[in-house]
């Protein structure tokens, strides 16, 4: 246990400036990478998945050098991985450590499940109200239908 813990801290502190996204459910690591557009990002990125976690059994982690996420990006992380923690690092110091928060409104990055929704036919950014923050249920601002977590398609 002790050696694992030390190693984990080493990975985190190895970042001079940037952000660590910790406590991502293992199966969602690649999804988070994709929705944040990190797969086409030029900065140094380290990520791991199926790592041991005392809190969750297994977890994933993503570390991005010289990147500080904006509100909209944090909202995306919160929807894909509501259990995630953001650790902001400057000069090897942890400046901020906070759990992501599920937003009231989800704009632009989830597809509405309703095939007959106008957003799936016209060039319209999607918009949802979060009607259940625990189960993450979204109600489409346009067609008023509900899209649940298991049906999320990120756009």
Partner 1 sequence: MKNRSLVSINDYSKEEYLKILDIAEEFEKNPKQKILENYVVATLFFEPSTRTRLSFESAVNQLGGKVIGFTDAASSSVKKGESLKDTIKTVANYSDLIVMRHPLEGSARFASEVSAVPIINAGDGANQHPTQCLLDLYSIRKTQGKLDNLHIAFVGDLKYGRTVHSNVIALANFNCTFHFVSPFELKLPSAVKRHIKEKNLEYHQYTDLNEVIPFVDILYMTRIQRERFSDPVEYERVKNAYILNGNMLGNCKPNMKVLHPLPRVNEINENVDDMKEAYYFQQARNGVYVRQALMASILGIK
Q: Give residues in contact with partner 1 (CB under 8 A).
A: 112, 114, 116-119, 121-124, 140-146
Closest to partner 1 by CB, 45 vs 143, is: 143
CB 18 within 8 A of CB 64: yes
According to DSSP, residue 17 is labeled: S
The nearest distance, CB 148 to partner 1, in angstroms, is 12
The minimum distance between CB 121 and partner 1, in angstroms, equals 6
Radius of gyration of the chain from its Cα atoms, rounded to whole angstroms = 17
Tell me which residue of 117, 104, 108 sits closest to 146, measured CA to CA: 117
Alpha helices in 28-114 (DSSP H): 29-35, 71-80
CB 52 within 8 A of CB 4: yes
Shorter beta-carbon distance to partner 1: residue 85 or 139: 139
Minimum Å gap between C-beta 70 and partner 1 is: 24
Distances 91 to 24, 69, 88, 124 between C-alpha atoms, Å? 24, 17, 10, 42
For residue 41, the minimal CB distance to partner 1 (Å) is 32
Nearer to partner 1, 65 or 141 (CB): 141
Of residues 78 and 112, the one with the C-beta less far from partner 1: 112
């Amino acid at each position: 246990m002790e050696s694992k813990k030390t190693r984990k801290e080493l990975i985190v502190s190895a970042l001079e400036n940037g952000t660590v996204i910790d406590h991502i459910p293992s199966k969602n690591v690649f999804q988070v990478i994709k929705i944040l557009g990190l797969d086409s990002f030029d900065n140094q990125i380290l990520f791991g998945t199926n790592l041991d976690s005392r809190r969750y059994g297994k977890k994933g982690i993503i570390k991005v050098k010289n990147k500080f996420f904006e509100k909209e990006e944090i909202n995306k992380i919160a929807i894909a991985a509501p259990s995630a923690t953001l650790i902001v690092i400057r000069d090897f110091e942890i400046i901020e450590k906070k759990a992501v928060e599920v937003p009231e409104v989800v704009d632009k990055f989830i597809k509405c499940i309703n095939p007959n929704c106008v957003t799936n036919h016209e060039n319209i950014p999607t918009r949802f109200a979060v009607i259940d923050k625990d189960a993450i249920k979204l109600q489409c601002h346009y067609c008023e239908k509900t899209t649940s977590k298991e049906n999320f398609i990120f756009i």
